[in-house]
Chain A
Amino acid sequence: EDKVVQSPLSLVVHEGDTVTLNCSYEVTNFRSLLWYKQEKKAPTFLFMLTSSGIEKKSGRLSSILDKKELSSILNITATQTGDSAIYLCAGNYNNNDMRFGAGTRLTVKP
């Protein structure tokens, strides 16, 4: 069973729309949840959420960790074409075990 599950797998929106990406994680040995953006090659870090830091915001992007539902969302407001990318969610577990979900491919059309 996958430790980290993302939805939707792909999403097409128009500039200016607001999007919400979802990630659920397995709780056993869970330490933190991370969000990355991947445009071409190396994923770039967006946010890290832990039990003591469940909400993060940076510009138009924000993320929340729901410890009760074992899930996280990544919100992007006023989307731009430059937001087009694969968004990856990862669970960091004990012993530095880090598992990613399948990713959400976001396409923002002009």
Chain B
Amino acid sequence: DGGITQSPKYLFRKEGQNVTLSCEQNLNHDAMYWYRQDPGQGLRLIYYSQIVNDFQKGDIAEGYSVSREKKESFPLTVTSAQKNPTAFYLCASSPGGAGHTEAFFGQGTRLTVV
């Protein structure tokens, strides 16, 4: 079945460690997104990518990094520079281009700093 897969579902990080969250889609979508969600809050954009080998910073990119080497994959690295990384992370994709389309979401990764 087509969709977006995020892994792992739960992730624990020690302070000072970098961790990488995986996002894979088999929808042949050009655009991919990473959002952070804190308890009871909306989604804040971290990074997005329109196309392979291209990505743009969102509102809260500091302390995060991404890559887009393949169309299907858009991994997010939470670096030690991110001082408060505990949150729920959602990946999304959309067909992109100039058309009007909705985005589809993965099931999320809950990151906890221990």
Chain A residues engaging chain B, CB cutoff 8 angstroms: 6, 31-32, 34, 41-43, 45, 48, 50, 86, 88, 90, 92, 95-103, 105
Taking beta carbons and an 8 Å cutoff, which residues of B are in contact with A?
30-31, 33, 35, 40-45, 48, 50, 56, 58-59, 88, 90, 92, 94, 96-97, 100-108
The closest CB in chain B to the CB of A31 belongs to B100
CA distance A43 to B102 in the complex (A): 11
Q: Which of A48, A50, A86, A100 contacts B45 (CB 8 A)?
A: A100
Query: Is A42 within 8 A of B44, CB to CB?
Result: no
The complex places the Cα of A35 from the Cα of B45 at a distance, in Å, of 16
A103 engages B31 (CB within 8 Å): no
Residue in B42, B106, B107 whose CB lies within 8 Å of A103: B42
A-side interface mostly: strand
From A48, A95, A97, A102, give the contact of B41 (CB < 8 A).
A102
Write out the residue numbers on chain B whose beta carbons fall within 8 Å of the beta carbon of A95: 50, 56
Q: Which of A41, A96, A103 contacts B108 (CB 8 A)?
A: A41
